[in-house]
Amino acid sequence: MARQAGANGETTARVIRQESLKLFARHGYDAVSMRQIASAVGVQASALYQYFPTKQQILVTLMKEHMEELLAAYALEWQDGETPRAALTRFARFHIRHHISRADAVFISYMELRALEPEGFAAVEALRKLYENELKSILAKGAEAGDFRLEEPHVAAMAILAMLTGVNTWYRTGGRLSREKIEDIYEDMVLKSVI
């Protein structure tokens, strides 16, 4: 996608992020060069450095934006006074619905953690823990109330998140099952894992 004449800096930065996301998801972070990103954006490689001094900064920005968007969307779904079962159902359905249409961002957020340098990893991991803690809290409350049978909310949360996020490895729009049906199936599996 070439940069359009007269495009402003904010537009260019957005296009850099979009094209980087596609390239990192398709080829892997380590295999993509700043020159490839510049070519996809339609600018000289030297122009990229005005927006992102390093490729690492692009990756950190993409991962942080994904997590911040996830947390903001989840906050909008919050329901006060829910039973643990209702909260777990809502969490599972939200996670599937939110992630299923963001395959590239989800792939990078999980598969490219290894590429992060310590400072970037700490920032991204802090955001990930905020989201994980939402699920852990639901599971802990359900266990305390006797609604859920589980010994370790942390282990259960990690297993549930891995299962839910795994939908992006196989689901394709236009397949035999609708997104709503996928939500139904995953909701049922999540509930059966703790009841």
Rounded-to-integer distance, Cα 156 and Cα 78, Å: 21
Rounded-to-integer distance, Cα 156 and Cα 161, Å: 9
Inter-residue contact 11 to 25 (CB < 8 Å): no
The pLDDT value recorded for residue 7 is: 56
> Alpha carbon of 141 to those of 78, 136, 150: distances in Å?
16, 9, 11
Q: What is the pLDDT of residues 92-123, one digit of tens each?
A: 999 999 999 899 999 999 899 999 999 999 99
The pLDDT value recorded for residue 10 is: 87
Of 160, 154, 146, 152, give the one whose Cα is nearest residue 192.
160
Q: What is the pLDDT of residues 12-65, one digit of tens each?
A: 999 999 999 999 999 999 999 999 999 999 999 999 999 999 999 999 999 999
Higher pLDDT residue, 138 or 9? 138
Structure-block tokens of residue 48: 């990229």
Lowest mean pLDDT among 24-28, 68-72, 130-134, 167-171: 167-171
| Fold of the 7-52 domain | Arc Repressor Mutant, subunit A (1.10.10)
Q: Which residue has the tokens 């495009």?
A: 7
Write phi, then psi, for 53 (nearest 5 degrees): -60, -25
Question: Over the chain, what is the mean pLDDT?
Answer: 93
Model confidence band, residue 79 (pLDDT cutoffs 50, 70, 90)? confident
Q: What is the pLDDT of residues 147-185, one digit of tens each?
A: 999 999 999 999 999 999 999 889 888 889 999 999 999
Question: Amino acid letter at 48?
Answer: L
Question: 55-194 sits in which CATH class?
Answer: mainly alpha
Structural domain boundaries of the chain? 7-52, 55-194
Rounded-to-integer distance, Cα 82 and Cα 148, Å: 15
Question: Amino acid letter at 140?
Answer: A
